[in-house]
Structure 1
Amino acid sequence: MNATPELGLVERARAIAPLIAREADEIERMRRLTPVVVTALVENGLYRALLPQSLGGAEAAPEHFMQMLEEIAKADASTAWCLGQCSVCAMIAASLDHDTAQEIFNAGPGILAWGAIAHEARAVEGGYRVTARWDFASGSRQASWLGAHVRIVGSDGTPRKNADGSAEVRTILFPVASATLHDVWQAIGLAGTGTDSYDVADLFIPERFTAFRDVPHALVEKGPLYRIGTGSTFSLGFAAVSLGVARATLDAAIALSRGKHQSLAASAMRDNQAIHGLIGRTEGDLRAARAYLYATANAMWRDLVATGEFSAAHRGAVRLAATWTIHQSAKVVDAAYHMAGATAVFRSNPFERRFRDMHAIAQQIQARDTHYEDVGKMILAKAR
């Protein structure tokens, strides 16, 4: 597919959002994205948002990537989560030789998914051999390729080290047909992500299908996007997903308030001053969170484009903004859910799934409270 102009990503996402909303119940029931949704995402180039332009991708600035995910999340959080996960995984293309990246991303659906860092791969002639199982592979049910982040050991089993003494970790890539997927994702929220486990047995990985992830000197592509790294891009993307869920939930509560007359109440919700105040405060909280996240992302991006450096200060700022935004989004969803009263508990209404999805997002690594500790430590160290 031809490159998708980054400014078109948001419009394309908005255009297919009604289709995704119609499929949301089936996505929840199947516990994975439906074929019609995957086809729409692929045909509109949304999985290619962060793929290098040299490979036909959009190589989009963070702002446009985040806005794209917001629009999809308003329709269905599971779809947005998978799209965010697989889009960020595609950034590994910037560390592969061009022919290898072409083979992975420009054949079939060209979708890559991976799970958490775990296990070892043994160096052998021409590549690596690995037997292992990995978990938390969101989007794996749509993927044509899988990846894994593994510690490398030599042929004698001795762990290989980097120059600074840390363990050598590589990302290995292999066709999904080389792995066995395990249907384990029975979760309270984000049920449709199919965040399953997968394993391989004595699999040989040629050297060219491995890369150092988030290591600037290993980059083949020199665009500023790839200096950010996948960790911070995941944070920005998933924070944007939380904003989309919060926006949709609050909008549903506002729509309900215009027409509902609460049981035993003297007046309709639209005439209730307590509801007026709750909507005003919650709207302010959501707008503030969104403004903070985007201001942080855009300031980081301006500095990065100007200097070519993604600094520790940038990383801390992104982590703080993303963590706080997810937590604020959860508060917005809670307020909207509470505002809806008993209406919110029925599956036929637009509240309970978003409530569950939002609290599943808030349990992920991008929302850990320890991020505040990390940033606080950086702030105090700087003040010395």
Structure 2
Amino acid sequence: MSTTEAATTDAGRPADRLDTPLTEAAAKVAELAAAGALAAEEERRLSPPVAAGLVEAGFARHMVSPRWGGSADAPGAIRDLTGALVAVGRGCMSAAWCAGVLTAVGRMCSHLPEEGQAEIWGDGPDVPLAGSLAPTGTVRQVSGGWRVDGVWHIASGVDHAEWTMVGGLVPGPEGPPALRHFVLPRSDYTVLDTWRNVGLRGTGSNSLRVDDVFVPDHRSLEHRSVLTGDHGPAAPRTHRVPLKLINGLFFVAPGIGAAAEALEGWTRWTVDRREITGARTVSRPGVRLALASSAANLDAARLLVERAAGEADEAPLGPELTLRATRDYSTAVDLLLDAVTGLLRMSGSRGQAESSPVQRAWRDLHCMAGHGALQPDVNADGWAKHALGED
């Protein structure tokens, strides 16, 4: 049994996943993703079999309404998703990242008018989706909908998507511009080969160009509705929770998997390492300290994220719950960065080779940390103002 497995199973929790239909399927696609991880880095996108495997595993349908055959009302859906993303992250963090995007955009599209949802899921819920939400293009309102034009960047998994969501600023009800989202079929945009990143290389987060396309009203929604959640009494819990309560876990959970795999790989490798003097590397106190610190940081990050996921499934919804979750997602990121940085430092030049899983996890996790949903100053400030009664 590995160090990380022992640390978690002793506490009565599974090391990587819960035994659920999604996580069982995710464990299988994780093996496929692991086998193709280096190729995904070289190609800068997932292979078609891996991309299709994520959809077949159930990520695309996981937060789609049961009306269309989705799993949004499954008990413990958010915990299940977290375990599944961790499982895939162990095989390939880029694949897990794309799995999180599949799920997140599916949840956002569930806020479309019914006609828009039917257009996407009328033939079934297993539809690959992508999204580029920053309002980098231009939109203007016309009769019956919107004209959308411009270039949108960083749309993870866009090469394999059938529909992609883009964001645009429109006049707000009270004056300031408001963010709105528009969903386009693959025929309405061109994918641009732009993804050249230091980490998360396999996500295929390319740009897309839209040339003055008409988007009907039923394929557009206000960002505000996604932020606040669907308050309808018949809405599944996964649609009623505020976006910020769960947004961070789409990206942190893959990082937990990547860090866990790096720790196990480093441990196996280090057991057989020798110093220049011929002494065993594991005899160095600094190496044992790095191992213990990394394992503890990983477990702490996992506990924070698992608590947030469990509360998102069951706890009474309110501002404090959301603010604490976003605070904890950022804290978990810091813990994961410390975990892999300590391992890389104790790996020497051999640990920096492209074949080393530690350096790939180190790169991927640092890129994850830059995501807007995980910024420590913003998330800490929001929680602190609430705790101090200043909000």
TM-score by length of 1: 0.88
Residue 318 of structure 2 is aligned to residue 311 of structure 1: yes
The one of 331, 334, 337 aligned to 1:324: 331
CA contact (8 A) 1:84 1:234 kept: no
Name segments (4+ residues, structure 1) moved above 4 Å. 106-109, 216-221
| Cα distance in structure 1, aligned partners of 2:145 and 2:383 | 39
What letter corresponds to residue 326 of structure 1 in structure 2?
V
Greater shift, 165-174 or 138-147, is seen at 165-174
Change (3 A) 1:218 1:14: closer
What letter corresponds to residue 32 of structure 1 in structure 2?
R
Residue 129 of structure 2 is aligned to residue 112 of structure 1: yes
1:6 CA drift (Å): 9.4
Please name the residue that 2:148 is paired with: 130
Greater shift, 335-344 or 174-183, is seen at 335-344
CA contact (8 A) 2:294 2:340 kept: no
SS of residue matched to 2:169: strand
CA contact (8 A) 2:163 2:186 kept: yes
Please name the residue that 2:88 is paired with: 72
Please name the residue that 1:151 is paired with: 169
Please name the residue that 2:107 is paired with: 91
1:370 CA drift (Å): 1.9
Equivalent residues, number: 365
| Cα distance in structure 1, aligned partners of 2:376 and 2:230 | 32
Question: Map of 1:1-384 to 2, 5 A cutoff?
Answer: 7-59=20-72, 61-105=77-121, 107=123, 110-118=127-135, 119-152=137-170, 159=171, 161-162=172-173, 165-215=175-225, 216=228, 222-266=235-279, 268-304=280-316, 310-371=317-378, 372-381=380-389
| Cα distance in structure 2, aligned partners of 1:19 and 1:106 | 29
| Cα distance in structure 2, aligned partners of 1:102 and 1:262 | 63
Deviations 1:235-271 (A, max 9, x none): 11211111111111111111112222232252x1344
1:54 CA drift (Å): 2.0
SS of residue matched to 1:262: coil
Greater shift, 110-119 or 171-180, is seen at 110-119
CA contact (8 A) 1:88 1:230 kept: no
| Cα distance in structure 2, aligned partners of 1:111 and 1:300 | 25
Please name the residue that 1:156 is paired with: none
Greater shift, 5-14 or 370-379, is seen at 5-14
Q: Which runs of 5+ in 2 are unaligned?
A: 1-17
Please name the residue that 2:11 is paired with: none
SS of residue matched to 1:48: coil
SS of residue matched to 1:113: strand
1:117 CA drift (Å): 2.7
Change (3 A) 1:194 1:107: farther
TM-score by length of 2: 0.86
Change (3 A) 1:279 1:106: farther
CA contact (8 A) 1:17 1:72 kept: yes
1:333 CA drift (Å): 0.8
SS of residue matched to 1:358: helix
| Cα distance in structure 2, aligned partners of 1:313 and 1:291 | 19
| Cα distance in structure 1, aligned partners of 2:122 and 2:85 | 22
SS of residue matched to 2:275: coil
Deviations 1:13-59 (A, max 9, x none): 11221111111111111101101101212222222222222222222
1:66 CA drift (Å): 1.0
| Cα distance in structure 1, aligned partners of 2:113 and 2:346 | 53
1:77 CA drift (Å): 1.0
CA contact (8 A) 1:115 1:147 kept: yes
Change (3 A) 1:233 1:6: farther
Q: Which runs of 5+ in 1 are unaligned?
A: 153-158, 305-309
What letter corresponds to residue 130 of structure 2 in structure 1?
A
1:106 CA drift (Å): 5.1
Structure 1 vs Structure 2 CA RMSD: 2.3
SS of residue matched to 1:95: coil
| Cα distance in structure 2, aligned partners of 1:18 and 1:106 | 31
- Percent identity over paired residues: 24
1:295 CA drift (Å): 1.5
| Cα distance in structure 1, aligned partners of 2:282 and 2:38 | 29
CA contact (8 A) 1:214 1:227 kept: no
CA contact (8 A) 1:190 1:356 kept: yes
CA contact (8 A) 1:95 1:219 kept: no
Change (3 A) 1:167 1:333: same
1:167 CA drift (Å): 3.2
What letter corresponds to residue 58 of structure 1 in structure 2?
S
CA contact (8 A) 2:33 2:92 kept: yes
| Cα distance in structure 2, aligned partners of 1:218 and 1:302 | 16
Deviations 1:154-177 (A, max 9, x none): xxxxx3x22x55534321111022
CA contact (8 A) 2:230 2:239 kept: no
What letter corresponds to residue 227 of structure 1 in structure 2?
R
What letter corresponds to residue 214 of structure 2 in structure 1?
F
CA contact (8 A) 1:344 1:351 kept: yes
Greater shift, 29-38 or 345-354, is seen at 345-354
1:75 CA drift (Å): 0.6
CA contact (8 A) 1:214 1:230 kept: no
| Cα distance in structure 2, aligned partners of 1:226 and 1:376 | 27
Please name the residue that 1:155 is paired with: none
CA contact (8 A) 1:235 1:322 kept: yes
